Structure 1
């Protein structure tokens, strides 16, 4: 068996596991890995401008492929910058592996240059955090990392790589490719579910979480439509199923269709498929309470530790989404409900934007223009902020991998995620939606997009402030504005400096021609949209908040 250094062994095993792209900011602590990548054409190396962008891109890539997105950063500052993406991957249930170049083994516990105990640091926000001290065990650690990141509830793994370990030349036995496990639902549990559906009067399904692909969404949509089961999406997981299915009821979270929470509260049977039922989806655990008196809860999840973790579960079903959706579609003798069509009609009315009087730049009609002008499978990628609410309400997601949005509420996510999407799906239209504060947290990654030839449209919604916090401020302390105003650069000029095509608009009627010009161009195309912070979200104004 030939001798290889740790860097070479690591790269060889990433290839074995199917890695075709990784995201990184280089560091001297993993030079041996960078050297091995010189001779590895199977892996596309994306060089980013900040480590937060690295892990945002890797976590988004993990959602799109179903296999771990791969990130490399250096120790200390690199790892702390990267931690935001680890948190997103955990809360969003996305498979990702973060490799951190670390200090030499012999200098540990001396507070060496940029030393951090990464196992302790990442343990609360990762599925597994470890350090590889023996180069011969790299194949074992990599295989375990893939299995851990993908199976059960998907999530992030963090592996620290001592710099001197990567230079050790050893014999190592490579591990074969690890596949995601499939678990079919218990047939008796499916029989029990069928009985519960037959006995229900007001059933509702809530979908979300990881593991939704086109086949899964199609099977679930077929089953739900056949019986008229209303289907709501968990917060920022609207792409779990096609929104044009005849029983889609809209999304939960912030600003849902007003009639949807009432429908959820009045349901006698809740079928939760894949979603964790987190704080945002359940409106602070009040829309559905953990003990949900008067309601029967069926919870389907691929990880047994999520079942009965927070919510009392009357029928827990441990299964992957694809296997469950197929089993559900195969059930026979189920009743027909009228509520699915009614819920869909309510959502269609709610998601049809109407012009708002006196608003110069009205984002609702802009979203409608996008719906009419862009392909149905356009990928909408956003970070966090009130600006995203217009797309959550008015965009119609075509199905899995048409929405990349952080349920963890991380600002700065949309632009890096859109870059990852543009590289993964070069034939699809990709749009990054960012607020002004949101964009400036990772807008430097436009340089990455230009360098790597990504094609994407970027919309920067600029209201001159941290809008979400300003909204909360006006609710709690009306008229007392503090620390939320922003003085912004010329975003179009900034984008052109990066090598993008860009323009600025401030009227609704200017949006359609600007979008047409962006569609006709290629590469990175940015539209800077100036809005009035008075129009604080899609349903109210600052004046209305102050008048309460």
Structure 2
């Protein structure tokens, strides 16, 4: 018995079972609803055990799709996402999805097959040291050496993936371990570990809040991960302190809530960025001061003291020194802070009026000139039509920023995107995973013509399983965000961004058996949205937009967040 399996022994006299059977039985016992994967030689015993094993498997058409789908499934449910692949190219095709989950702190268990243990290190067919390759990209990883260890390793993997600051883990199963049998059955049980609340630090935070005249709540993705959304909303409502959000935290405070000023950062709202720059206290919940949020770090919130709540001590003082660091369970910390300050008489009414008035004065407008489709207006209307059941699984590019700026989100699980890694190709498999997780929701993949081509093969997966995902494909025949930067910062030297040779996306979708239609005029938008949302199965709305349309506002590189460029069509209004 190996060290990891010594934690607890049960059913020692059980009938012999293979490592592959133990894997499937353990996943079933842990309540895994669905696994995303793609078979191959080195993981074939697991696929043999999956038949009738009680765990639903979704066959994607590329292993990257499996990792992205598992990632989105985890984001949409709060559970651990599970994906699997064979050795060699199967395992390496998971890597981008693993990195994506690591950057955004998404709990995911990735299971790979490998060559038999006696062949490891011999350059055998489709052998690769996937443990070594992914070492910087996972919280922890295992190579199983004994079939009896399989249940213990899998249970520990789930614990590590979801505990503390969540993230992906890797379990590598050599083929001889999958086929090898054992009569032993070992489990692994770890007591729940809840980080204690730092009462002294919260008392210090209370004093700073009481003394502040321009406090601001800075919401990060850690709030959702910690299950602290309701605690955060209660704090914001009871104190009246205005709030801003990072990209990954959108929906933690409803985007239509009083006092919510929008997303901050490079493509944030004018109201959010100006409030940050003017604030005298930032109350930071589960954020990491990412460069896209802060702009020029040395000039970010220059007048503000910082109270930083986070479960990960590595984030404290990493980029911005905290006057009061509060390390520990975020939900409990926010709840105690609320109890301390909710009854206080905060002298911030002038600040509330000033910041919310600025938000109203600089609210986005949707009356852009022209008869063509204006993407921000379409996305705003789409989210309103879908209502509180709207879930956006968004790719990366201009459309990603438009979704963040213009869609309304009722909860953080409604906004799924590749935030830290910025991985194109995320949207379609993420929509697949999210729709399987929440079949009754209006799950919409929003993609661009560049991103969509990267995992377009997953249209076949939608069709195979009848997944009624809706797709909005914004097509400007270019790599829009790269083109925009080349226009603004590279003297209009448009290098390798022309995608005018795109295929007919409607015909492509229909060839996959997916309903599809195209719109290109503003008066077609409402009807197109109604048709899309009413479609009984998967459906693609191909939207032609102006190739010259840019995302505004924009903080140029090397500038602080107050130095924003704006759409000259709305000069003085945005």
TM-score (norm 1): 0.93
Say whether residues 1:421 and 2:421 are aligned partners: no
* Match of residue 26, structure 1, among 39, 42, 45: 39
1:217 Cα deviation after fit: 1.9
SS of 2:265 mapped into structure 1: coil
Say whether residues 1:491 and 2:505 are aligned partners: yes
1:192 Cα deviation after fit: 1.7
1:111 Cα deviation after fit: 1.6
Partner of 2:526: 512
TM-score (norm 2): 0.89
* Match of residue 443, structure 1, among 456, 459, 482: 456
The 5 Å alignment of 1:249-264 reads: 249-264=261-276
Distance 2:75 2:296 in 1: 26
Q: Is the 8 A contact 2:373 2:522 kept in 1?
A: yes
Partner of 1:382: 394
1:491 Cα deviation after fit: 0.8
Distance 2:337 2:233 in 1: 10
Q: Is the 8 A contact 1:239 1:399 kept in 2?
A: yes
Say whether residues 1:334 and 2:344 are aligned partners: yes
CA offsets 1:255-311 (integer angstroms, 9 cap, x no match): 1112322221222211111112222222253553xxx76532211112233323333
Distance 1:431 1:180, change over 3 A: farther
Unaligned stretches of 5+ in structure 1? Answer: none
* Match of residue 316, structure 2, among 293, 297, 307: 307
Say whether residues 1:224 and 2:211 are aligned partners: no
SS of 2:173 mapped into structure 1: strand
* Match of residue 432, structure 1, among 440, 445, 459: 445
1:433 Cα deviation after fit: 0.2
Say whether residues 1:71 and 2:80 are aligned partners: no
Distance 2:353 2:112 in 1: 50
SS of 1:326 mapped into structure 2: helix
* Match of residue 11, structure 1, among 24, 39, 64: 24
Worse overlay, 452-461 or 322-331: 322-331
1:232 Cα deviation after fit: 0.9
SS of 1:239 mapped into structure 2: coil
Partner of 1:185: 197
Partner of 1:501: 515
* Match of residue 185, structure 2, among 143, 160, 173: 173
SS of 2:172 mapped into structure 1: strand
The 5 Å alignment of 1:72-221 reads: 72-175=84-187, 181-210=193-222, 212=224, 216-221=228-233
Distance 2:454 2:162 in 1: 29
Distance 1:544 1:340, change over 3 A: closer
1:67 Cα deviation after fit: 2.8
Worse overlay, 108-117 or 524-533: 108-117
Partner of 2:7: none
Say whether residues 1:316 and 2:325 are aligned partners: yes
Partner of 2:561: none
Partner of 1:527: 541
CA offsets 1:158-177 (integer angstroms, 9 cap, x no match): 12111111111013334267
Partner of 2:307: 298
Distance 1:286 1:397 in 2: 31
Partner of 2:246: 234
Distance 1:422 1:240 in 2: 20
Distance 2:359 2:455 in 1: 33
1:64 Cα deviation after fit: 2.3
Distance 1:345 1:8, change over 3 A: farther
* Match of residue 64, structure 2, among 30, 48, 52: 52
Worse overlay, 370-379 or 75-84: 370-379
Distance 1:409 1:490 in 2: 26
Partner of 2:382: 370
Partner of 1:246: 258
Distance 1:125 1:308 in 2: 22
Distance 1:452 1:184, change over 3 A: farther
Q: Is the 8 A contact 1:127 1:148 kept in 2?
A: yes
Partner of 2:355: 343
Worse overlay, 207-216 or 229-238: 207-216
Q: CA RMSD in A?
A: 2.4
Q: Which has the higher contact order (CA 8 A, sep 6+)?
A: 2
Q: Is the 8 A contact 1:74 1:100 kept in 2?
A: yes
Partner of 2:4: none
SS of 1:275 mapped into structure 2: coil
Q: Is the 8 A contact 1:505 1:511 kept in 2?
A: yes
Distance 1:121 1:348 in 2: 49
Distance 1:482 1:399 in 2: 39
The 5 Å alignment of 1:453-464 reads: 453-464=466-477
Distance 1:529 1:459 in 2: 7
